[in-house]
Structure 1
Amino acid sequence: MKLLSCHIENFGNMSGRDFDFGKNPTALCEPNGYGKTTLAAFIKAMFYGLPTTRGKSFDERQRYLPFGGGKFGGNLTFSANGKIYRIERFFDKKSQTGDETKLYSGGKELPAPENIGKDIFGLDEASFMRTVFIDSTADMSGVTGGISEKLNKFVDNADEGGFDKAYGLLEKAQKALKAQRGGGGKINERNDKIKALEDKRRNAENVNAKLGEKYRERERLEAEIAQTEKSLKAAASLDGVYQQWENYERMLARASGAAEEIEKLKAKYPAGLPSEEELSALNAAATRKANEKSRLEASAFTAEKESRLKELENVKLKNLPDESAIGDCREKISELGAMRERLKSVPTAVAPAAEAKKGAKLPVVIIAFAVAIIIIGVVLAVTVNLLTGIIALVVGVCSVFASGFAYFSTRLKAVAAPAEANPEYLKLQSEITILESNIKGFLSGYGYLTESGAEADFNNLITDINKLKLEYTLLDGERKASEESAAHTRAVIEECDAETDRILNKYSIRVDGGLAETIKRLENYSREYAYYGKRLKELSAEAQNYKAEYALTEKPEGERKDTGRLSEKLTLLNKELTRVDREISDDEAVTEKLPSIVSELENERTLLGEDKKKHEVLGKAKEFLQKAENNLKEKYILPVKERFLHYSAALEEALGEKVVFDTDFNIKYERGGEIRSDRHLSAGQYGLCALCLRLALVDVMFTEERPFIILDDPFVNLDAEHMSRAAKLLNELAKNVQIIYFCCHESRDIG
């Protein structure tokens, strides 16, 4: 198969472009952004189409939507099986349903397969890309992982795992159903459950089997009772009245069985049993009492709070000053403040004597005379003679300085004279000291004497007093609220106890094993009492109706056979029948569960069978998977190895190393006479190995017509020397397969 040409109408950044693939290898060396990758994507899209856009995803359809608009698509011409074909595809913007696909051969339109690529190559899109397309980012390093795993990846389109992962998942699923060792797994668990259900079923079946015997026993008793009644009738008086009385007595005997059960209950509770309403009231009272007890415990005033409250009452608050003492101290502190303010305005000492101040008067006359001389000097200097004026001016200035010096000297002496203490200041200061001492004495008595001062200490005292009073008020209020709540709760509990005592005392019932247990026991006995009471009423009514029907008013006298033994037997039989009826009722309640047990058992057996089938299927799947793995190796892996060795000569020339395989089909190379691991190969050399591996895969997978190979710059990691060898390798390989080669730098051009 060969690509011949293509025309790109509009695809990504390409519009109106034509490409011819006649030369082999076809090399396209253009800079990044030219559209090499776009061309490769176009070729793939011609064969496999483009996926429908889902939501807002940016897929290939969105990526290659024409930049400038226009018709989206083009055509591709190729040869296959001796014929030339032309594919025309034009794509919708979003969905495959809007795409147009046409296939031509020899100028005639052919029916286009739904998937042209798969129809031609026999591969889906992903497998085709893994086989035909090679670029620098492809997963090529896997030559070291074994050809088997690599081939599995290409065939299965799996990124990791392959056979080992699939086999491991099957084994894990099989172990989850049944462990290889021990008793683990769903099958063993289900077996245990089935065994338990079978035990339940056997128990119910045993009860059911015995129930049949009891049914037969009841029939036997009823038959024997009927026979005994018949015997009594035969042994009765010749007179039919005797027989009627005997029948009536038999009815009474049956009623006596129920009456005896009632008497047993009455013996336990001579005063009777509470009614249904009274039992409901007992339950309500018990529930309410329990709730109130819980509420009482939750709202209790704790011992810690009680202790604190007593401490406040007996110690803290008693040792505090009363309001009178506090008010007196507050007035003293206020008076102290006023005295301190007044003290600030009183001088601490008396000024010097008045005579000293008088002696320090300014010599005004002398200064005035000196000023006059200065003025005259200025006038003389300006109008008469400069020298004379200056002399007069100097004399005037000196006179001014001399007078000032004399004045200030006298004034300083007056200021330096010692001052006398002010008696008023001393008196006020003494009063302040006394008052402050009284205040401190008051505060120290309560432990509030610090360096902060009397006012601050007093304020701290007042603050603490208020805090203690507030704490006491809150605690006292909480205690009262708790006491009120407790009193209410106790009252409710007493009401409940009173209601309970009222009902129990009414019937002389003593609480035994707790109130709840007593109530439960009373409910059971009440139901039993009601059952036998109803039974007695029905049997008594039956007897009375019979008596009324035959107008039995007085039993006649006369000679008759002794029926006492038969009557006694009949009574015993009736009691036995009552007992059997009671046992049958209990056993029927057990057997009612048998269908659900059987149904559940059958369901578990069905599930067990399914699990065993799954376990068997998983085992077969493992077996078939192992066979498939072996067949895959026999059918594909060895041929791939052979084809790879076919290319090894050209590969060795390109690598400059001799390539060999080990027994596990891992690639190694020979250097310096020593076999070395492929881990020493460079990334570019890996790419060459991977290329030959792809070609080997193509040879094996395509036995009739080999497809083309598209290389999108796969040798970006090769140096110049190895690139030259790679170019020779590609030209050699192109003799047998069409190669379309893209690169973005002239150093990797193979043309």
Structure 2
Amino acid sequence: MKILHISVAAFGKAQGVELDFCAGVNVMQNANSFGKTTIANFIRAMLYGINYTRTKADKADDERVNDVDRFAPWGLTGKFGGSMTVEHNCEKWRIERFFGTTARQESLTVTNETTGREVPLTVSPGEFFLGLTDESYDRSTYYPQEFVQFTSNENIDGKLANLVDSADYDEVQDRLLVYRRQKRAGRGVGGTIAALDNEIFSLQRQLNDALKADEEMQRTAEQRTATEGQIRQLNARKCDVKQRLDDVKRQIVLATPTEEQQAAQKRVADAELNMAKYPSTLADDRKRATELLDKIKVTDRHPNVQKSAFKPKWWLVALAAVLIAGGAALCFAGQIPLLICGGIAVVCGAAILVVGLIAGRGKDVETLQSTEWDELVADYMRIVGRYVDVTGKDLDGAAELFRNYCIARDRDMEILKALKELTHAMPQADITRLTARENALETELESVGREIDQRTRQLGNLDGYAAAQSAKVADKAEIEDKILNARAAKADEEQKYDTAERVSQLLVAAKENLSGSYLPKLRARVTELVDYVTGGSYEVTLDRNFAVRLRENGQTNRMTSYSRGIREITLLCFRIALSELLYDGAVPLLIVDDAFVNFDDDNFARATRLLADLSAKCGTQVIYFTCHSRLGALEG
């Protein structure tokens, strides 16, 4: 893999930086604080991402930071990152990567620009293009200024880097065992991995609670919607019941008589009560009594005989005599007018006389035996006695009493009719029925009101419950980020544990066969490179415990016996030799961040010549960052 171009949108102090690289040696020579180390870290971030887990930046400082704190540009919000174009297997690839405050916000796109197709990766771009994990990259490809420090630290890469000059094999294995137990206890539950498992379990439980709270909020919202609909229906029903109640009350008001109407009703009631004293048989008995009385009046109390009677109308006879006499006198007066008048008077008198005589002519009269007449009177008295007291009364007296009784009844009937005519416009509604309806509607109205109050209280309870659940739901995104960070931290810890375990296993295997296979090759190549850089002053030895020693003037000493510059030269040669073994001599990339600051001029010149030769002979792309003016063999 070769880096062709990087485009830094925003990363640390670098913003809007565009850099092109060639396949050979690339030198970035700038003053301090320019951002050289930032560019080196940007290249690593494009290949392996950044670390979101917070760790202590300094043992003496309790503040915990992560790569977001280190590389997020100051004064800017949102994502940061950029892109890097590389050449791999004769094809051009583009890596575009942007970072956020959490791992969830990170985005990665890898595109084969030769084919124009986006390629999804199951491993990191560094593993895909270089075949190295991030730890291997840090141990073999990237040379920072501090890579040669011998101080112990918690990072497995630092421990591995220190193996080449540390104590013997047993000490290294003990340190690896302690390190692994820090990650995962050998017995029982303990270590950072178990702690992260507990944290993930706790966070997952919190997330489940938040998800349940979200479901509860949705269910509560549905219940609230249903309850609001019920309240609307109840309010509509309440309005309907109230309207019907108002209608009934108006009907009651209209049906309730006034005081005058009540007085008139009382008078009608009194009149009806007064009429109740007259039996219902009065009309028929009255008719029968009238017929009997008429029959009695035209019937005499004589034996049953037939005779002709003559009873002239004497007053007519007298009148006729006067007229005849007067008319005769006028006739004798001798005057024609008087004669005419006298004649008329005589004629009229004669006519009147004839009428009087005819009127007095007798006719046949039917008479009854006295016992039958008495029966008629007895029937009459019996009928009349039902209504009036006829004790000691004769026929005329009883008839008078009965007539007065009937007149009184007729008068009372007329009064009742008149009163009814006066009260015909009075309300005729059933007040009792309307009052019962009013009571039923008032009861229904109270019931609906209670139900509305109950639903309203239920709505308030739902709102309170939803507010309580909302607080849990609001933390869901934060909890998910914490879970992702914890899982990433756990994966990192497990990877470190596995790496330490693999290293321990490799050390065990290496102790047995390193001397017979890789160790001789590695020792020979390291010796060759050290001889080249130092001018042949030292001889390198590697024992079965993987410890590096230098032999000078016939005496073999540990690395700690030599100066920092010699140690750095030896370790540089060891890393180059190790990289050549890893890549079978074809080292693809070396990034050196001012790693030769402690070299003297001669060693610096030979070290830079070593890099230049490595680039020329093996095709290694070298990217060299420095703030110094001396470039040695890398100049030009």
Range of TM-score over shorter length: 0.3 to 0.5
What TM-score, normalized by structure 2, do the two folds share?
A: 0.40
TM-score, normalised to structure 1, is: 0.35
Report which of the two structures shows the higher radius of gyration computed on alpha carbons. Answer: 2
